[in-house]
Structure 1
Amino acid sequence: MTGEEIKSTLTSYNLQSWSKQRGLNPIPVVKGEGIYFWDDQGNRYTDMSSQLVNMNLGFGNKAIGDAIKKQVDQYCFISPSYGAESRAKLAKKIVELMPDNMGKVFFTNAGADANENAVKMARMFTGKNKIFSRYRSYHGSSFGAGNLTGEPRRYPLEPGIPGFVKFFDPYLYREAVCFESEEAATAYYIRKLEEQIQYEGPDSIAAIAMETVTGSNGVIIPPKGYMPGVRALCDQYGILMICDEVMTGWGRTGKLFGFENFDVKPDIVTFAKGVTCGYIPLGGCVVSKEIAAYFDDHLLSCGLTYSGHPLACAAGIACVEYYEEAHILDNVVAVGKVLGEKLEEMKTAHPSVGDVRYIGLFSAVELVKDKVTKEPLVPYGRDPEGVMGKIIGMLKEKGFMTYSHENMILIAPPLIITKEQLIEELAKLDEVLDNVDRKIS
């Protein structure tokens, strides 16, 4: 098919997610290599969001491709109840990479069903029904994960499933209170969370689920002591701690898993995205030894046709091994330092940049109309004039491909990006921000 035929056929027969369908103009992609991809006209684009923060190792990783081909030659699928070598090897490898309290993996197809099954297991294990999650969170768009989600993408699912309770994020930039330190902020947020636990009834709360670092909703990094503080509340009240590592897992923050930055051991960890870098869909939830032992004698009422799909697990083994053998974490730390420095420079230079937040190669630029009042460039949950879309369009014209959410621009390039490549791309962002500055002045 020509590029025009691809576009015409797609827009005629395919519903594209998170979009009004009229006027869509998808780029026909014909090639991908490393951090770049090309359209049918030969135009090159730089993937500065790792697609959907999942292609951590970029396009064309030979080790992953070869592993998939080898598994295809053996067999492509066998039911989850049968013994598949790739399934066994990946499960063992993942558990060994986890803290010493973790026991077993349940494989899923993606992050949303990983979070749904984590919630089911928490409810089965504790016998309680309520699940706490944060307002500025995204855990997936299927019905259960969408109820776990806090941001506006949950609205079409409402009225929702009983038992899902929301609490506030430690979002210091937008907090009405000015804290003297991160520790003071932590004390405040933990105290408010404990108060809400008391109001909801500790004996009814099965789990507190959190993105370890809030992802698309602004890369909100917990202040010092916050995660241990939540862990302590969970221990005190017999509540499970679920860490959603769908975005932050597999090296994104400079650690293999985001929670390693904060010195905590969760009870359940959900993952997806970077475990195969999108080469084949795969997700899962890792549960503690205690939870795993519970299901020795109690029915695990969870099941998926493609749980632990052999092709996906083969891709996962190759992917995880590549992280280790290519020293990807070292690159994330080194290049992430440059990313942070450059973003801080932009924050100082541009009136439209209210805040920048970054950890490893995971970052967000928060755009405002006024630095003093912190008025966001677009109102929460709405962008009636398509302002953010226009900004993303300006970046696209320069070949800088990413996405926005609310008044944030997400920057999360593949973990293989070099310092030189990063600097080249951030110069494009700098130019576009000059344009935004002029529009708000």
Structure 2
Amino acid sequence: MKNLVELDKNHFIHPTSSIQQQQEYGPKIIVEKGDGIFLTDKEGNVFIDAMSSLWNVNVGHGRKELAEVAKQQMEKLAFSSAFSTFSHEPAILLAEKIASIAPEGLNAIFFTSGGSESNDTAIKIARHYWRIQGDTQKKKIVALKRGYHGVAAASTSATGIPEFWSMAGRLMEHVVHAETHYMKGTQIAIQSLREIIEQEGPENIAAFIVEPVQGAGGVIVPSEDYLIEARKVCNEYDILMIVDEVITGFGRTGKMFGIEHFNLQPDMITFAKGITSGYIQLGGVIISDHIHEVLKEKSKGTLFHGYTYSGHPVATAVGLKNLEIIEREGLVENARVMGNRLLKGFQKLQEEIDIVGDVRGLGLLGAIEFVQDRSNHQRFAPELQVAVKVIEALHQRGIICRPVTYEGVDIICFAPPLIINQYQVDTILERLQDAILDVRKQLG
């Protein structure tokens, strides 16, 4: 174990991690195995994975069916390029399956390796769509503050969390950010969107990209009318609407896609994470019939965009089996029912503990915000690190979840596997209450 810690410090640069923390303390834990909603480390400690690792292990850990289908596909056809119109059965069948469960009017799929690539692809397709119709100046992308869309060039620029720009800056021009609905409300957020469009000129804007629920921004659930009003604004100004379902897709919110809660049709949906439950890398973009028709008619010659692993045969075979499990085991409905139970537990904590501020959730995607004074939403001083302390207290109690501390907030997020049961939800809530009370006592 000691040797592994030193090897980690010497050779493994961790993504989205503090290098200094790693060098001082080593890895937080070294995970040995996963089973259901549980992870076990090299020392035998067992944790409830209340974040589905990175919002993505929807069907839970240790599903032998997924390992078996990957093995079978590797033995049959481990890899084949999808460039130059080469194809293979798993990619074709998964594309058809996704089209069958997607919102009406979205039936064509471009595969990627993950969420960042998916959002970069959607942005490029939006620009390409306008360019081949002669609208060469429609290049700008409107996104939201607190939105998260990934860490590739375009997706980093579209992300509305400044901390993600600190490493290398914003690498793509022509991205602007409107106000989020968080702490602003629908009216102000829609007004901001409209003002940004007017300021930049609708003739210059290719697309608006938005999450149904802002995940990494703190599980920010919009009001029922926000996305509907945003769609109306996009229609009014002839702007494409891209919905980022990298976190919310494939059952996470209690619907197959998060956008289904809001009864509207976007022009593109990006996905990743839950499509394979993290068992293998896969993502993609679901494209509307209208855009697909324009591409078929006007995109002459080669479409010079694609990744080596676009439509990877093993990944798409695993994706097919993963969707089969989600449907067969009724995990979308379970996410709705267990999510309601989790949210009611959060609301009970809000009633009983004075530092618990706003609580929110949609399916098995939830968050709790900590405040010094609930009456006016006064936040704690950042140096107190309240959310970080609660996360550590939970870790000591065998629960893994995630803090959000951007712009001085103290939020903890939850996104357990969709297989979670009533007893396990209640266990999380009991340990959460104990952890918050412990931190509350430390704060005096």
Task: Indicate the TM-score class for this superposition, using the shorter chain for normalisation.
Answer: over 0.9
Deviation at residue 438 of structure 1 after TM alignment: 2.2
Confirm whether residue 368 of structure 1 aligns to residue 371 of structure 2. Answer: yes
2:389–2:439 Cα contact (<8 Å) kept: no
1:7–1:27 Cα contact (<8 Å) kept: no
Aligned length: 424
- In structure 2, do the counterparts of structure 1 residues 164 and 51 end up closer, same or farther at CA, with 3 Å as the change threshold? same
Confirm whether residue 431 of structure 1 aligns to residue 434 of structure 2. Answer: yes
The answer for the alignment partner of 2:134 in structure 1 is: none
Show the 5 A alignment for 1:374-413: 374-377=377-380, 379=382, 384=383, 386-406=385-405, 407-413=410-416
Deviation at residue 391 of structure 1 after TM alignment: 2.5
1:83 to 82, 87, 102: 87
Q: Which moved more, 1:153-162 or 1:330-339?
A: 153-162
The answer for the alignment partner of 1:102 in structure 2 is: 106
Deviation at residue 336 of structure 1 after TM alignment: 1.1
**Aligned residue identity for 2:27:** N
**Aligned residue identity for 1:417:** I
Query: How far apart, CA to CA, are the structure 1 residues paired with 2:437 and 2:151?
Result: 35
Query: How far apart, CA to CA, are the structure 1 residues paired with 2:389 and 2:437?
Result: 14
Q: Which moved more, 1:189-198 or 1:385-394?
A: 385-394
Query: How far apart, CA to CA, are the structure 1 residues paired with 2:149 and 2:51?
Result: 18
Give CA deviations for 1:23-53 in whole Å, capped at 9, x if unaligned: 2333122221100111122211110000010
SS at match of 1:334: helix
The answer for the alignment partner of 2:230 in structure 1 is: 230
Confirm whether residue 339 of structure 1 aligns to residue 342 of structure 2. Answer: yes
Give CA deviations for 1:252-278 in whole Å, capped at 9, x if unaligned: 100000000001101000000000011
Give CA deviations for 1:328-361 in whole Å, capped at 9, x if unaligned: 1121111111111100001111122111110101
1:149 to 159, 164, 178: 159
**Aligned residue identity for 1:155:** S
Query: How far apart, CA to CA, are the structure 2 residues paired with 1:257 and 1:52?
Result: 18
CA RMSD of aligned residues (A): 1.5
The answer for the alignment partner of 1:181 in structure 2 is: none
- Structure 1 segments, 4+ long, off by >4 Å, are 384-387
TM-score (norm 1): 0.93
**Aligned residue identity for 1:163:** H
Show the 5 A alignment for 1:240-319: 240-296=240-296, 297-298=298-299, 299-319=302-322
SS at match of 2:309: coil
**Aligned residue identity for 2:13:** L
Query: How far apart, CA to CA, are the structure 2 residues paired with 1:26 and 1:5?
Result: 15
Show the 5 A alignment for 1:406-421: 406=405, 407-421=410-424
The answer for the alignment partner of 2:169 in structure 1 is: 158
1:326 to 326, 329, 353: 329
1:357 to 360, 363, 380: 360
- Unaligned stretches of 5+ residues in structure 2: 132-137
Show the 5 A alignment for 1:5-20: 5-20=3-18
TM-score (norm 2): 0.92
Confirm whether residue 28 of structure 1 aligns to residue 30 of structure 2. Answer: yes
SS at match of 1:140: coil
Confirm whether residue 116 of structure 1 aligns to residue 126 of structure 2. Answer: no
SS at match of 1:122: helix
**Aligned residue identity for 1:46:** I
The answer for the alignment partner of 1:208 in structure 2 is: 208
- Unaligned stretches of 5+ residues in structure 1: 176-184
SS at match of 2:369: strand
Give CA deviations for 1:223-282 in whole Å, capped at 9, x if unaligned: 121111111111111100000000000101000000000011010000000000110010
2:119–2:270 Cα contact (<8 Å) kept: yes
- In structure 2, do the counterparts of structure 1 residues 67 and 377 end up closer, same or farther at CA, with 3 Å as the change threshold? farther
**Aligned residue identity for 2:156:** G
Deviation at residue 131 of structure 1 after TM alignment: 0.2
2:255–2:333 Cα contact (<8 Å) kept: no
Deviation at residue 385 of structure 1 after TM alignment: 5.9
1:138–1:216 Cα contact (<8 Å) kept: yes
**Aligned residue identity for 2:8:** L
